[in-house]
Amino acid sequence: MRHVSAPVIDRAGRARDAVAREAWGEAYALLHARDRHPDEALTPDDLGALSDAAWWSGHLDESVAARLRAHAAHVAAGDHRGAGLAAWWLHYEYAGLGRPAVAAGWLHRARHHLDGLPPCPEQSFLAWADAEEATARGDGPAALAATGRMTRLAERSGSPDLLALSRQAASAALLAQGRRAEGLALLDEAMCAAEAGELSGVFTGWLYCLALTQCMEAADFGRAVEWTRTAMEWCAAFGTGDNPFRGVCRAHRVEVLDLLGEWTAAEEEARRACREVPVDCLEAAAAAYCAAGDVQRRQGRLDEAARSYAHAHELGRLPQPGLALLRLAQGLGDAAAAGLRLALACQDARHGPLARARLLAASTEVSLAVGAVRGAADAASKLDALAGDVPLLRALAGTAAGAVALAEDPGAAAPVLRRALDLRLRLRVPYEAAQTRMLLAAADRAAGYEQVRRLGLAFPRDGFEGLGAGPDARRAAALLSAAARRRLPGGLTAREAEVLRLVAGGATNKGVAGALVISEHTVARHLNNIFAKLGVSTRSAATAYAYAHGLV
């Protein structure tokens, strides 16, 4: 028998103690040293712990290698439960590394090990995979049946981790079927276990990441704000070393800060998230790049926004609707419309209602900008059907409907827009509220309430300026200046006066299109009308007229 020295035994005990404390950096160093020592053969459980520690420490290749060895050791020992769990983890890790065929193979192998065994906790992971696959193909009953099996196995095992995860999985299945109240109630129950510190680190991280995704996809902004704050507190408090969940949680925080109008913080957090996100969660980095691009676009930093959207696209995310709205700001309305049509066609059951609602809202805006009122009305109608009674979606739908009414029946726009504005003020989303105020000011003008309109324009101008949304602030200021003049000379319309004012200030057609969020084709049409009404044929003559008649 080989003699095992006391230091070796001590190191093994210290490593297992570090694993129990979830001190992953310490555990990785100890287990890695043991694995390299000729006198210290790691058990299958030790190899699994080495894989966990390597994953937490950011050594993903080592994590997979150790897990492969753990699987082989469990198979050699005839331990089907251990082999099945190791196989499931390999499925999870390979999926995160972007190798779906290998991941599918290991999931099949996990089923081979675990199917046919008496009920055991490891089978919960197979039920979870069944639920996610059923949800992805739109089979709600199969998804709920799978989460039911998962819950029964979790209850039998007595594992708080598995029980909380089964509730989250059931919540996802219910939300996918539109059973919002039931789904969110289960999600809250699962999240309370995470917040109370009842779960292990990996399950806590999973639940935060999954819950934050669900809240945003379900357009539950209040929950997203609350759980994002709690998730970041957990990330800050968990251990002293690396936390693979930190970057993913931070990427969700970026989305929340963006909506709250805290744009400077959002952009800084986006940069940090992109540095922190591990390579098996690059979709979170892509979401952070999209959010940063949205901030940059609204602030008029169009070249920076284009680069951010390009980074998101490189990471596999279609950066819509932000890219389409960027194209519109660049005066490329047709390209914007085409991009949105493609994005809407590419959506499937995996995308939540908020993602589709944002595409439909942008489609309404772009269609109106290029003069396609019928297309805008169709998009707004679909958005209205999607919104239900969800406040964030209802506000999007109301604003879109009000914008269409302004083009079709201005008298009907104001009541719809006031309801949308009330929702946005209650949600505390300042940029979106300012957008709705702009439309409401236009509706008040159509109704003949010029004084109300001027007051209504002052609010969004100040709001846009406070956010740093330069293009929108300039547009509101231009409209406010025009509103101060009761009658426009030469028979000009309000929009023609806006165009002339910008041209007189030296703007090109492209610049006018970007400032007013219309196409260059529309700008050219307005200029032709202006020239005809004023009896001039050049931009310089039109500029002289503008100065002579106090339009500038």
User: Domain ranges in the chain?
Assistant: 1-115, 118-218, 485-552
The C-alpha torsion from 15 through 21 and 25 to 26, rounded to 10°, is -40
**What confidence score (pLDDT) does residue 41 get?**
81
Q: For residue 92, what pLDDT is reported?
A: 94
* Residue 340 pLDDT: 95
DSSP secondary structure letter of residue 410: G
Mean pLDDT across 77-93: 96
> Do 485-552 and 1-115 fall under one CATH topology?
no
Q: What is the pLDDT of residue 517?
A: 78
Distance CA 266, CA 251 (A): 9
d(CA 363, CA 400): 9
What's the token pair of residue 85? 């769990």
Q: How far is CA 411 from CA 385, 401, 404, 449, in A?
A: 23, 13, 12, 12
- Residues 134-138: what's their mean pLDDT? 89
For tokens 């699994």, the residue is 48
Burial class (CB in 10 A: 0-12, 13-18, 19+), 446: middle
What's the rounded Cα separation, in Å, for the pair 160 and 162? 6
The full length of the chain comes to 552
Residue type at 277?
V
CA dist 59 → 16, 93, 257, 458 (Å): 19, 12, 31, 54
Q: What is the model's pLDDT at position 451? A: 47
Residue 216 has pLDDT above 50, yes or no: yes
> Which of left, alpha, beta for 59 (phi over 0: left; psi -120 to 50: alpha)?
beta
Domain 1-115 adopts which CATH fold? 1.25.40
Classify each residue of 30-65 as buried b or exposed e, where b means 16 or more C-beta atoms within 10 Å of its C-beta.
bbbebbeeeebebebebbbbbbbbbbbbbbbebbbe
Which pLDDT does position 6 carry in this prediction?
44
Residue 7: what pLDDT? Answer: 53
Confidence of residue 470 (pLDDT cuts 50, 70, 90): confident
pLDDT in the model for residue 154? 96
Cα–Cα nearest to 364, from 317, 420, 430:
420
User: Which residue bears the tokens 């309109």?
Assistant: 453
Residue with tokens 């929950």: 223
- Domain covering 118-218 assigned CATH 1.25.40 in the classification: yes
**pLDDT value of position 191:** 93
At residue 438's C-alpha, the angle toward residues 217 and 549, to 5°, is: 150
**Residue 212 near residue 249, CB atoms below 8 Å:** yes
Judge whether 380 and 410 are in contact, CB under 8 Å: no
User: Given pLDDT bands bounded at 50, 70 and 90, which one contains residue 549?
Assistant: confident
Chain segment 183-193, per-residue pLDDT in tens: 999 999 999 99
With tokens 């999931």, the residue in question is 107
Peptide bond into 244 cis (omega under 30): no
- The mean per-residue pLDDT over the stretch 265-289 comes to 89
Task: State the Cα–Cα distance between residues 452 and 417, nearest whole angstrom.
Answer: 14
What 8-state DSSP symbol labels residue 274?
H
Q: Tell whether the model's pLDDT for residue 452 goes beyond 50.
A: no
Return the pLDDT at 484.
53
pLDDT digits (tens, 9 = 90+) for 56-69: 988 989 999 999 99
The tokens describing 387, both together, are 């919104």
Confidence of residue 457 (pLDDT cuts 50, 70, 90): low
- If you search the block for the tokens 């389409």, which residue do you land on? 324
Average pLDDT of the chain?
A: 89
| Alpha-carbon distances of 401 from 49, 385, 412, rounded to whole Å | 56, 11, 10
pLDDT band per the 50, 70, 90 thresholds, residue 278: confident
Amino acid 483: pLDDT: 56
Instruction: Indicate whether 3 pLDDT > 70.
Output: no
- Among 277-281, 285-289, 321-325, the minimum mean pLDDT is found in 277-281
Question: Which of 38-42, 52-56, 171-175, 192-196 has the lowest average pLDDT?
Answer: 38-42
CA dihedral angle for residue 269, residue 274, residue 278, residue 282, rounded to 10 degrees: 120
* pLDDT of residue 455 exceeding 70: no
d(CA 72, CA 54): 18
- Listed in sequence order, the residues at least 6 apart from 240 whose beta carbon sits closer than 8 Å to its beta carbon are 25
- In this prediction, residue 487 has a pLDDT band, given cuts at 50, 70 and 90, of low
Among the ranges given (188-202, 249-263, 482-496), the one the predictor scored with the smallest mean pLDDT: 482-496
Q: Measuring CA to CA, how many Å separate 420 from each of 59, 401, 437? A: 49, 9, 9
What gap in Å lies between CA 503 and CA 523, rounded to an integer? 10
Q: What percent of the chain has pLDDT over 70?
A: 93
Q: Rounded to two decimals, what is the model's pTM?
A: 0.77
485-552: in CATH 1.10.10.10: yes
Residue 323: band (very low, low, confident or very high) from pLDDT cuts 50, 70, 90: very high
DSSP H or E stretch at residue 232: helix 221-237
223: which residues sit within 8 A by CB, 6+ positions away?
184, 187, 188, 215
Cα–Cα distance for residue pair 502/531, rounded to 1 Å: 15
Is residue 230 very low, low, confident or very high in pLDDT (cuts 50, 70, 90)? very high
pLDDT band at 349 (very low <50, low <70, confident <90, very high): low
Residue 449 pLDDT > 70, yes or no?
no
**What is the reported pLDDT for 410?**
82
Average pLDDT estimate for 458-480: 81
- Residue 549 phi/psi, 5-degree rounding, is -105, 15
Report phi then psi at 196, rounded to 5.
-75, -5
User: 107: which 2 tokens?
Assistant: 């999931």
Task: Using the predicted structure, report yes or no on whether residue 113 has a pLDDT greater than 50.
Answer: yes
Does 471 or 477 have the greater pLDDT score? 471
